[in-house]
Amino acid sequence: MQSYEDPQLCSVAVGLIGDICRALGDEAAPYCNTFMTVLLESLQSPVLDRQVKITIVSCFGDIAMSIGPNFEPYFAATMGVLRSAGEQTADPVSDASDNRIWLLTVAIGGLQLSRVLASSPRGNSRCLRRHCDWAEVDREE
């Protein structure tokens, strides 16, 4: 996973994490601390290919949907990553469609994570609101 110079290998590794979590469902929860640590560290790498980063953001949604409310310990860190990713300016060298895919992936990931936390039996609506204020629409006209 940390062979950043080989983007194909990284993408396959991220895909395997998502596949494992989907296959195991909530039984993947004990492994998610390791998975999330590696994924979050990889996202912080300045040399990791942008397409791999898109795959990682998508994988967060796979993990969250698989382990459900057990994703709560990772929610704040993941939302922080999604927030900073959504605030990034477009890379002028990248293709415009890559930038749209990046922003859509970030938005969908945030929605998936929000859905999981909202279904938590502990009723974490305050935590959800704190991290999702970026998704609110300005209603002042």
Q: CA end-to-end span of the chain, whole Å?
A: 47
* Fold classified for 7-135: 1.25.40
Token reading at 1: 């996973």
Rounded distance between C-alpha atoms, residue 73 and residue 86, angstroms: 21
Q: Running DSSP on this structure, what letter comes out for residue 48? A: S
pLDDT profile of the chain (141 residues), mean per 10:
83 94 94 94 88 87 86 83 67 58 64 63 51 45 39
Q: Running DSSP on this structure, what letter comes out for residue 5? A: T
Task: Say which residue the tokens 């990713």 belong to.
Answer: 85
Predicted pLDDT at 77: 84
Long-range CB contacts (within 8 A, 24+) of 18-25 = 18/58, 18/59, 18/62, 18/63, 21/62, 21/63, 21/66, 21/67, 22/62, 22/65, 22/66, 24/66, 25/66, 25/67
Helix (H/G/I), strand (E/B), else coil: 96 = helix
Predicted pLDDT at 91: 57
Predicted pLDDT at 136: 46
Predicted pLDDT at 108: 67
Largest interatomic CA distance in the chain: 49
Predicted pLDDT at 137: 39
Predicted model pTM: 0.70
